[in-house]
C-alpha cells in the first residue's frame, strides 16, 4: 500500500511554495500512519526553504511540528491505536545503537534522520515533512499528544517546545533559577512559558519594545531591551542560564556579563561563526560557558508534552491557510508573528 499524498513544497530555493503530490513509503510493521491536522511553521523551515545552511534539496516539503490522528498502525505497533492524538517533531529515525541513542538523546545520533530534506538510510528515500496530508513514521518517533489542549497550540511544542525545554532541564532550571531568553518569537515565547512553569525567575531580552506587554503575559518577570546599554548594565551578574534564540548572526558579547559565575549561555538559533568574535575574557575570569543545544530526545519530548498537558500549556498561535505560507514566511523574516504560525491542513485542498 503506497500512499499518494498531497503536500506543499518549495520547488527551489527562494521560489514560491506550491502544491506537490508525492508518495509516502509503504508502512512497515513498526510504522504509524498519521493524518495531519496542523503543522507549525518554524524559522528552521524558512532557513531550509531559502537554503540558508547550504544543504537543502528540492522539492522540499518542510514542517516538523506535526499534530494529527493515527489512521493506521503496522502489525508490530504496541504504543498507538487508530484514533490516537499524536505528534511528530524534527526526527523520524535514528540508529538505536550509539551512545546518544542509548542515553535517549537521539538528536545527537550520527545517523539521526530528520523529518524532512534528509535521506532515510533504510530505503534511500528523501523524507518529506508536515506541510502535507499524511506522514508515516516508526512508532519510536511518534509522541502521545495531550488531548486536553487545542491541537493547533500543541503542534509548536514538537519543536519550539522541546528545543527550549531540553536546555531548561539539562541545566536543572527550577525554583530559584534565574533564566533569560533572547528573542521573542516561536522558541522564545515557549521558553518564557516553560521556564516560568518550572518555577524560575524569567527575563526576556528583546530588540522590540512593542513586545513587552506580551512578554509579561507569557511569563516574563522582566523585559530588557537588548539595545539599551543602561538596561543591560542593570542586569550584570544575574542569570544562571540564557537561551539565545536569535536566528541570524548577532553580537553575543553583551549578554556574557549578565551571566552569574558558572552561568551558561546556550545558543539554539544561529548556526555559523559568530561576529563580532566572542571575547573569552569574561568567560575565563568567571567560569562562564557558551554552549549549543539541538531540539531534545524522544523521552524528554514526551516528558515536555505530558508537563504541558498537566499545566495547560500550549503555544500562542496564528492559524493560517496553507495558501498563505509565503506571506507567513515574509512576516517571520520581520520577527512579526504572535508567536507561532500554524497551518490548518484542512485548507490544503481548498
Ligand atoms: P522566530 O519565531 O522568527 O523568532 C526569532 C526571534 O529572534 C524574533 O522574534 C526576534 O525577537 C529575534 N530576532 C530576529 N532577528 C534578529 C536579529 N537579527 N538580531 C536580534 N534578534 C533577532 O524564530 P524561531 O522559530 O523561534 O527560531 C529561532 C531560531 O532557532 C531559528 O534560527 C531556528 O532555525 C532555530 N531553531 C533551532 C533549533 C535547535 O534545535 N537548536 C530548533 C528550532 C529552531 P525580538 O523581536 O524579541 O528581538
Ligand atoms: Zn523547528
| CATH number of the domain where residue 68 is located | 3.90.180.10
Whether 284 has a pLDDT exceeding 80, the answer reads yes
pLDDT tens-digit map of 289-347: 999 999 999 999 999 999 999 999 999 999 999 999 999 999 999 999 999 999 999 99
156 C-beta closer than 6 A to ligand 1: no
Give the distance (Å) from ligand 2 centre to CA of residue 226: 24
Give the distance (Å) from ligand 1 centre to CA of residue 165: 16
User: Percentage of the chain with pLDDT > 70?
Assistant: 100
Q: 252 and 130 share a domain?
A: no
How would DSSP label each residue in 25-36? PPPPTTEEEEEE
CATH number at residue 243: 3.40.50.720
Beta carbons of 33 and 72 less than 8 angstroms apart: yes
How far from 35 is each of 68, 73, 191, 336, CA to CA, in Å? 5, 12, 29, 30
Whether 42 has a pLDDT exceeding 70, the answer reads yes
Q: How many domains does the chain have?
A: 2
62 C-beta closer than 6 A to ligand 1: no
Residue 350's pLDDT is 82
- The three-state secondary structure class of 131 is coil
Residue with cell 498502525: 73
- Which bound ligand lies closest to the C-alpha atom of 186? 1
Q: How confident is the model at residue 207 (pLDDT cuts 50, 70, 90)?
A: very high
Residue 98's pLDDT is 98
Residue 319's pLDDT is 98
Give the distance (Å) from ligand 2 centre to CA of residue 161: 9
Residue 14's pLDDT is 83
335 C-beta closer than 6 A to ligand 1: yes
Q: 139 and 264 share a domain?
A: no
Q: 147 and 21 share a domain?
A: yes
Whether 2 has a pLDDT exceeding 80, the answer reads no
115 C-beta closer than 6 A to ligand 1: no
Element (H, E) at 170: helix 160-170
Q: 13 and 154 share a domain?
A: yes
Per-residue pLDDT, averaged over 198-203, amounts to 98
Q: How confident is the model at residue 201 (pLDDT cuts 50, 70, 90)?
A: very high
- Of 81, 39, 34, the residue nearest 64 (C-alpha): 39
Cis peptide before 64 (omega within 30 of 0): no
- Ligand 1 atom nearest to 44, measured from its CA: 34
Beta carbons of 128 and 79 less than 8 angstroms apart: no
Q: 39 and 99 share a domain?
A: yes
User: Percentage of the chain with pLDDT > 90?
Assistant: 98
Average predicted confidence (pLDDT) for the chain:
97
- Ligand 1 atom nearest to 46, measured from its CA: 34
List the residue whose alpha carbon is closest to atom 44 of ligand 1: 44
Q: 331 and 272 share a domain?
A: no
Cis peptide before 59 (omega within 30 of 0): yes
pLDDT tens-digit map of 231-257: 999 999 999 999 999 999 999 999 999
Grid cell at residue 270: 544561529
pLDDT tens-digit map of 154-183: 999 999 999 999 999 999 999 999 999 999
User: What pTM was computed for the model?
Assistant: 0.98
Give the distance (Å) from ligand 2 centre to CA of residue 258: 27
Q: 141 and 176 share a domain?
A: no
Q: 100 and 202 share a domain?
A: no
Domain boundary among 271, 292, 313: 292
Domain extent, residue 254, equals 161-292
Q: 250 and 111 share a domain?
A: no
53 C-beta closer than 6 A to ligand 1: no
What does the alpha-carbon distance between residue 93 and residue 220 come to, in Å, rounded to a whole number?
36
Instruction: Determine how many CB atoms are found less than 10 A away from the CB of residue 277.
Output: 10
Q: 8 and 86 share a domain?
A: yes
Q: 114 and 183 share a domain?
A: no
Q: 279 and 326 share a domain?
A: no
- Ligand 1 atom nearest to 47, measured from its CA: 34
Domain boundary among 277, 292, 307: 292
Amino acid at each position: 500500500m503506497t500512499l499518494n499524498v498531497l503536500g506543499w513544497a518549495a520547488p527551489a530555493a527562494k521560489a514560491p511554495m506550491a502544491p506537490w503530490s508525492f508518495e509516502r513509503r509503504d508502512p512497515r510493521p513498526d510504522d504509524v500512519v498519521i493524518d495531519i491536522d496542523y503543522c507549525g511553521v518554524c524559522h528552521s523551515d524558512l532557513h531550509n526553504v531559502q537554503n540558508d545552511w547550504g544543504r537543502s534539496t528540492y522539492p522540499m516539503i518542510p514542517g516538523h511540528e506535526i499534530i494529527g490522528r493515527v489512521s493506521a498502525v503496522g502489525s508490530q505497533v504496541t504504543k498507538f491505536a487508530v484514533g490516537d492524538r499524536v505528534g511528530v517533531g524534527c526526527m523520524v529515525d535514528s540508529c538505536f545503537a550509539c551512545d546518544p541513542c542509548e542515553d535517549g538523546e537521539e538528536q545527537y545520533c550520527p545517523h539521526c534522520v530528520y523529518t524532512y530534506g534528509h535521506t532515510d538510510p533504510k530505503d534511500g528515500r528523501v523524507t518529506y515533512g508536515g506541510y502535507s496530508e499524511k506522514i508515516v513514521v516508526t512508532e519510536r518517533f511518534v509522541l502521545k499528544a495531550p488531548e486536553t489542549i487545542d491541537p493547533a497550540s500543541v503542534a509548536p511544542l514538537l519543536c519550539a517546545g522541546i528545543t527550549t525545554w531540553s536546555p531548561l532541564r539539562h541545566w536543572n532550571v527550577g525554583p530559584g533559577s534565574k533564566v533569560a531568553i533572547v528573542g521573542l518569537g516561536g522558541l522564545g515565547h515557549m521558553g518564557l512559558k516553560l521556564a516560568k512553569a518550572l518555577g524560575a525567575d524569567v527575563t526576556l531580552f528583546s530588540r522590540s519594545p512593542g513586545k513587552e506587554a506580551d512578554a509579561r503575559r507569557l511569563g516574563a518577570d522582566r523585559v530588557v531591551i537588548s539595545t539599551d546599554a543602561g538596561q543591560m548594565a542593570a542586569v550584570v551578574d544575574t542569570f544562571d542560564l540564557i537561551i539565545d534564540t536569535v536566528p541570524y548572526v548577532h553580537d553575543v558579547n553583551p549578554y556574557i556579563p549578565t551571566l552569574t559565575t558558572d552561568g551558561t549561555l546556550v545558543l539554539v538559533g544561529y548556526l555559523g561563526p559568530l561576529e563580532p568574535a566572542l571575547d573569552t575574557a569574561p568567560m575565563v575570569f568567571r567560569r562562564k560557558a557558551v554552549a549549543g543545544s539541538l531540539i531534545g530526545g524522544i523521552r524528554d519530548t514526551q516528558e515536555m508534552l505530558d508537563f504541558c498537558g498537566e499545566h495547560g500549556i500550549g503555544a500562542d498561535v496564528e492559524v493560517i491557510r496553507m495558501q498563505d505560507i509565503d506571506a507567513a514566511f515574509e512576516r517571520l523574516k520581520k520577527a512579526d508573528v504572535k508567536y507561532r504560525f500554524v497551518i490548518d491542513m484542512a485548507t490544503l485542498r481548498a
